[in-house]
Amino acid sequence: MTFEGSGPLLPHIRDGRLRPLAVMSETRIADLPDVPTMVEAGYPSVLSTSWTGLFAPAGTPPEIVARLNVAINEALAAPELIAALGKLGNRPLGGKPEDLTRKMQGDIARWAPVVKSLNLKGE
């Protein structure tokens, strides 16, 4: 059993060496349309996706952050990038810097109790 992003697993799934049971995203993924979500499989509280964010150094002037944000969102809308990311099982979201902040805060709030209950320590 493994919990991984779908991209590296797709070749193994396609050649029959792995059998996907469910995906942990809110919706089914395009490369595995017949694989249910964990919610559909009867586990409504099991939802987790990986994400990647782009960060600027602390103290970067707001106007620079705004310009970078516009450029990044434009790039994320490019069909070539969408297709390339899709082959890895990813989809670009884009958005505002505040959206990423909310995502991080939500993940911290969600996973902090798990980390604490397992007595996990940073290394």
67 in helix, strand or coil? helix
pLDDT string in tens for the chain (123-residue length): 677 777 788 889 999 999 999 988 888 888 889 999 999 999 988 878 788 899 999 999 999 999 999 999 999 999 999 988 877 667 898 999 999 999 999 999 988 998 999 999 888
Q: How far is CA 18 from CA 55, 72, 84, in A?
A: 35, 35, 23
CATH number of 17's domain: 3.40.190.10
The pTM of this model reads: 0.71
Total of domains in the chain: 1
Asked if residue 22 belongs to a domain, the reply is: yes
Q: Are 94 and 34 in contact (CB under 8 A)?
A: no
- Report the number of secondary-structure helices (H) and strands (E) in the chain: 4, 0
The two tokens of residue 82 are 């969408």
Asked whether residue 37 is assigned to any structural domain, the reply reads yes
Give the residue numbers spanning the domain of 38.
1-50
Q: How far apart are CA 20 and CA 6, in angstroms?
A: 10
